[in-house]
Amino acid sequence: MAVRDDHGWREDAYLDANPDVKAAVARGIVRDGYHHYLLMGRFEGRRGGGFDREPSATTKLCFDPWENAEFTLDGALKPCCIFLHGVGTGDGGGMEAARDAPFFRDLRHRLLTGDLGPECARCHIRPTVPARKFVEALYPRLPGSKHLLESGNLDRVRVDVTQKCNLRCVYCALSVEGAPAGAHMAEPVLERVGRFILEHPGISDAAINGHGESTHHPHWREFCEGLLDGGAPLSIITNLGRVYDEAEIATLSRFRVIQVSIDTADEELLRRIRRKVELGRILANMALIRARALRDGRRLPVFSFSCGLYDKSIVRLEEFAALAVAMSVHIVTFWDLMKYPDLPGAENVRPLAALDDAELRRGLACYDRALAILTKYRVDVQVAGGFVDGLRERAGCAAGTA
């Protein structure tokens, strides 16, 4: 497939100016001139193709525009949670076609060349890497017939089922004065998205995660039961702070992964930060879900913790690590806090980047001790975007020496 001239690239001109590349493409050794230039040609000083902008030396290590599909409340498709809007999908058949809409092709081109838009540039989840390393990593992930600007095999789906929540965490955008009330995904959209997921049996993860609390949707259980009956591998990020009925517990017990959003093992702090949640309720729900899976003879869901690191959570992190071990949590993911305006009268928190060096070193020392506990008991630790490394560099301390 020839590269479209969306970005000033001239495929034919590049091949004519580089006969050896043209011959390699004809023999199937190289996919096309666009791929050759990104991987090798630009570093060899090749001419002829031309871009509106010359490629950057770095980019984000992100395969989402090729492998991930995220559905908004109205059924539009976007590449990840960083983007606020997506591509309209119309009826069910338009969902697959939307993956190769100009919006997605442009985003892929920007990642390949390092000409990042504002969303990717500010993303704190994906690390920055040399652009050549990214192209080399992407190449084997695409089917042989696919062009670098085309979608790859769909691996993950995320469904923004709701933007409403049962909590009002002090650091959440939903708590900011004037924030929209949010809405639930309508039933016809749920049905279309459900059909799309079941039509892609190769998906490794179907995440039922809204910007609110997914289990707050009035029809979340029926939607998930239909997917589970169809064999979809469901996961969810949830505060797990509601009182669930027996049917809801049964549905949750069928999930592959349940990631519990919880930042601290300190009951009082959790109540003040998360507002409207009880630690005991979260732990009781974990126990009920496991008991139901055992009763029904199913494999237990994999439980993980999603923990925000900020000034008041990091200094209590050892206790949190001990709780994760005691509750047989398999994975702990740490994420960096995005700061919104402080709330009047609330126990507000500060991101780690806002701490002075002395505070940061004390916090990192707590982090290292917590990490030692988790490592000792073989709990997998993931750090979104590797943000802790940058904080260490700023504070002038290596791992274990904060």
> In three state form, how does the secondary structure of 191-236 look?
HHHHHHHHCCCCCCEEECCCCCCHHHCCCHHHHHHHHHHCCCCEEE
Helix (H) or strand (E) holding 259: strand 257-261
Q: What is the mean pLDDT of residues 228-250?
A: 97
Predicted local distance difference test score (pLDDT) of residue 402: 52
Confidence of residue 4 (pLDDT cuts 50, 70, 90): very low
d(CA 253, CA 217): 18
pTM for the complete prediction?
0.88
Which residue stretches of 1-153 are H helix? 11-17, 19-26, 33-36, 42-44, 64-67, 93-97, 102-113, 118-122, 131-138
Helix (H) or strand (E) holding 274: helix 267-274
Predicted local distance difference test score (pLDDT) of residue 167: 85
d(CA 207, CA 233): 8
State how far the alpha carbon of 268 is from the alpha carbons of 264, 277, 350, 363, 396, in Å. 10, 10, 18, 20, 33
pLDDT single digits (tens) 244-293: 999 999 999 999 999 999 999 999 999 999 988 999 999 999 999 999 99
State how far the alpha carbon of 226 is from the alpha carbons of 164, 186, 190, 304, in Å. 22, 16, 11, 24
pLDDT single digits (tens) 181-191: 789 999 999 99
Share the mean pLDDT of the chain.
91
Confidence of residue 52 (pLDDT cuts 50, 70, 90): low
Cα three-residue angle 122-340-168, rounded to 5 degrees: 120
Predicted local distance difference test score (pLDDT) of residue 399: 72
DSSP 8-state assignment for residue 316: T
Confidence of residue 2 (pLDDT cuts 50, 70, 90): very low
- pLDDT greater than 70 at residue 219: yes
Predicted local distance difference test score (pLDDT) of residue 180: 72
Q: Which residues pair with 336 in a beta bridge?
A: 309
Cα three-residue angle 194-200-203, rounded to 5 degrees: 100
d(CA 148, CA 211): 30
